[in-house]
A and B are shown apart, each in its own frame.
Chain A
Amino acid sequence: MTKRKTFLLAVAIPLFILLAMTIKPQATLLFGQEIVLETKAYDPTDLFRGDYVAINFAIADVPKSKVTLSPDKIYNKNLYVSLKQEGKYYVVDQVSETKPKQGVYLKGRFQEIFNEFRGTETYRVDYSLDKYFLEQGSGMDLEQESIKGGLVGTVKVLSGYGVLTGIEPR
């Protein structure tokens, strides 16, 4: 390869990485199913991505009664949490190791942390849906709303992968 071609390649690879990063979330936005979840929020900052609202979805706490797997198959594992609609919001239905054949479900990592506020009755699940980025300075209003009466988050879901699309007062 000539020097010119390898240089082009070195420029193209980063662009390709950027494009590849967008495929899964963009496909989810385009083809995913929209669900509404209950949440609470506060307003911190990330050095590179800026201000965000940290959100804590109700479905991130999965009651132990919903999980029938043995403990060594739960902690630090990625499991599928099936959701069902109850009224306006989606709530946890059941947890499985394999991809459910139908319905709405999210892939999440079951974390091995003891939570003294929630006691030992629930598992903590990380769906990577805990940050909503917005313009610097505009997160405080949402935080206030959250203290007053909770927030509602909208998520697009496509085969277990979720993308946050919106967050607003209940």
Chain B
Amino acid sequence: MKRQITKANFSLVNQELDHFESTGLITGEQKTGILEIYEVKGGLNFIRVVVTIGAILVGLGILSFIASNWDGISHLVKLLIIFGVFGGVNLAGYTLSETIPKTGRSLIYLGTLVFGAGIFLIGQMYHFGGDFPTAFLLWALGVLPMAFQLKDKHLMLFANLLFEVYLLGSFDQGFPYAGWVGVPIVYLAFNYFDKSRLLLFFANLTSLSFILQITLRYEVEDLYVALLFFCIGLVMYGVKHNLEPEVFRVQGNILFGVTGVILTVPDLWDVLVNVQSTRLVSILFALAFVALLFFLIRKGSLLSLIFVCVTIFRYYTDTFAFLPKSLFFIVGGLLLLGFGFYFERMMKSAKGGTIA
């Protein structure tokens, strides 16, 4: 296993070794030997991109062929073809894994799409009714073993996404326990797949989808769902820990930002206060929300700036009468200008011209 370093670090090592060689500290052979220890990681490999997209196209073609339900071949023959192609691409993928690894891997990716086509073919053969969310659960279950076997984080990501489609598509149907099993698995996978941040991001999304599924299953009022996710977002953003804090901060910020904007909708609040005061309560919430965002902007959160803009836009397009809206915006804007002016002057006098 080669040591994986970034492209920038690799060129630094290369540069330094050149220097050592020129000063006679090491020989040219030693330099090549050292460089062979390293491998540039992360960067997109053109061949890998080409073969992977090729595999995805073929896979989508097969999925579409199944959906066409062309009756030139019987269902049974189609199923046998699916089995054959699935076995074939996996066998080829395995044999090529040593000699032509990138193409080999893409054939295994193709296999996972062929497997999905098989699921939908069976759904079609026996005329399964409903929306068939189970298809995505089964698809994820079928991709999972290969993802772990090859320790391939892209396959794991695919399995995770399929599972999420299942969770979001099966609010009142589906197996209630799938989430209790699936959510731990996606976190285990994150741990197993060299702690890939991408996997953590999607594992968090899966847990959030699962929580949403539970709230919908138990018919929790929209307001409480939005407030719950607002709080979860704040916790994800604010609580300090060592597990990829950056991922949690970004997700938390987006989550409480989006739910915060949603909570400025007056109609949501009618479960808590009477209909006449919903507008007032929502505006009070909006003011507190924007104050929080300003506080976070001051701490360097750029995403919060985006949500301030979204909130302003949301109120500008609201159905208020124009005159009060005009007053509201002008007064709000003047207040901000005034605060800014006050703070700028204060800091200038305190720190001698630098604005932190």
Contact = CB atoms under 8 A, between A and B. Distances in A.
Interface residues of A, number: 38
Contacts of A51: 69
Interface residues of B, number: 43
A164 B128 CA distance: 8
Interface stretch (A34-42, A83-91, A92-100, A121-129): A121-129
A44 interface: no
A135 interface: yes
Nearest to B90: A11
Contacts of B130: 126, 128, 130-131
Interface stretch (A17-25, A62-70, A140-148): A17-25
A6 B149 contact: yes
Contacts of A136: 67-70
Question: Chain A contact residues: over half helix, strand or loop, or mixed?
Answer: mixed
A26 to B, nearest CB: 8
Contacts of B148: 10
B15 to A, nearest CB: 38
Interface string A144-158: 000000000000000
B145 A18 contact: no
Nearest to A132: B127
A3 B146 CA distance: 12
Contacts of A52: 127
A155 to B, nearest CB: 9
Contacts of A50: 66-69, 124
Most central of A29, A128, A133 by chain B CB within 10 Å: A133
B67 A18 contact: no
18 contacts: A7-B90, A10-B145, A11-B86, A11-B111, A14-B86, A14-B115, A15-B83, A17-B138, A48-B123, A52-B127, A109-B173, A126-B129, A130-B129, A133-B124, A135-B68, A135-B69, A136-B67, A136-B70
Interface of A: 3, 6-7, 9-11, 13-15, 17-18, 21-22, 25-26, 29, 46-52, 76, 109, 126-136, 163-164
